[in-house]
Amino acid sequence: MLRARTSKNRIGEVYGDLTVIGLGSILPSRHRTWICLCICGTEIEVVYSSLTQGRSKSCGCSRRRK
């Protein structure tokens, strides 16, 4: 039987233009996602490792501004 791991509260942490505002879902790969708010006001769901490894820094709005 698989046990769900408890996740540390990440709400309020900032990664680039994203601020963690809530707990997301658990993907079939058992990765935890977090709901993030971008500085442009868009909410996105991001895998936590993408935040910590710098792969996700915004919702994509920074690419559209260029």
Tell whether 65 is covered by a domain: no
Tell whether 34 is covered by a domain: yes
Mean predicted confidence (pLDDT) in 4-9: 65
Tell whether 48 is covered by a domain: no
Tell whether 27 is covered by a domain: yes
Q: Give the count of domains, the chain.
A: 1
Tell whether 53 is covered by a domain: no
Domain that holds residue 20: 1-40
List all residues 6 or more positions away from 24 whose beta carbon is below 8 Å from its beta carbon.
32, 33, 34, 35, 45, 46
Provide the whole-model pTM: 0.80
Segment 32-47, tens digit of pLDDT: 899 999 999 999 999 9
Share of the chain above pLDDT 70, in %: 83
Segment 18-33, tens digit of pLDDT: 999 999 998 898 888 9
Tell whether 32 is covered by a domain: yes
